[in-house]
Amino acid sequence: MIGAEEFIEVFIPLFIIINPLAIFPNFEEITNQMDKNFVSKLSTRTTISAFLLLALFILIGRPFLNIIGVSTSAFMIACGVLLLYISLGMLSGNPPVTRNVEFDKDSIVPMSIPLLAGPGSIATVIVFEESYGKPLVFLSLVLCVVISKLMLQYYIPISKMLGKNGINAWIRLSAMFFAAISVSLITQGILLIW
């Protein structure tokens, strides 16, 4: 039985890290002047690709880490440092994961990978899978993907409602959440070592 409190503990951080709102400017760049049918197809391809990649890491992430000899504590600390790095880039207006990536309407790169399913979200699902179990993380991921799909498909009215300032404000705010989650992961990893 999945508890509401545990679900919230997994879903909210995962949704913040997947962060579909943060890719609106890039999505608009690709879909500008395109019809609704194209936008719908691209949003579906983007979110399904991200889901498949993250689901794969939920299934095999921990066994893979075992094979290469990485402990849970070491991985949590590494994830925390990585998320902190990403959050600092978001705060500065230049997210590290998007540097030197060419946007292409026919590819799942970079819309799915690394913007939705980036190193931060991959690391998070692996850590959460070990802490909360596969069913809860899968359920949270499915809900995150469904919401992301709807947000991308209807990005025009959402963008108009929020405006550029609203989207930029959310990106900075989510960066603060990224930083808080990263510190939590680092702290938990250190405590596991001791």
pLDDT at 83 over 70: yes
What would the two tokens of residue 192 be? 């596991």
**How confident is the model over 126-138, as pLDDT tens digits?**
989 988 999 999 9
Contact 84, 182 (CB under 8 A): yes
Average pLDDT over residues 55-59: 96
What would the two tokens of residue 194 be? 């001791």
- The percent of residues in the chain predicted with pLDDT above 90, rounded, is 45
pTM recorded for the entire structure: 0.86
**pLDDT value, residue 100:** 47
Q: What sign has the CA pseudo-torsion 160, 147, 87, 9? A: positive
pLDDT band for position 93 (cuts 50, 70, 90): low
Average pLDDT, the chain: 87
H-run or E-run covering 190: helix 155-193
What would the two tokens of residue 182 be? 């990263």
**pLDDT value, residue 6:** 94
Contact 17, 184 (CB under 8 A): no
**pLDDT value, residue 98:** 47
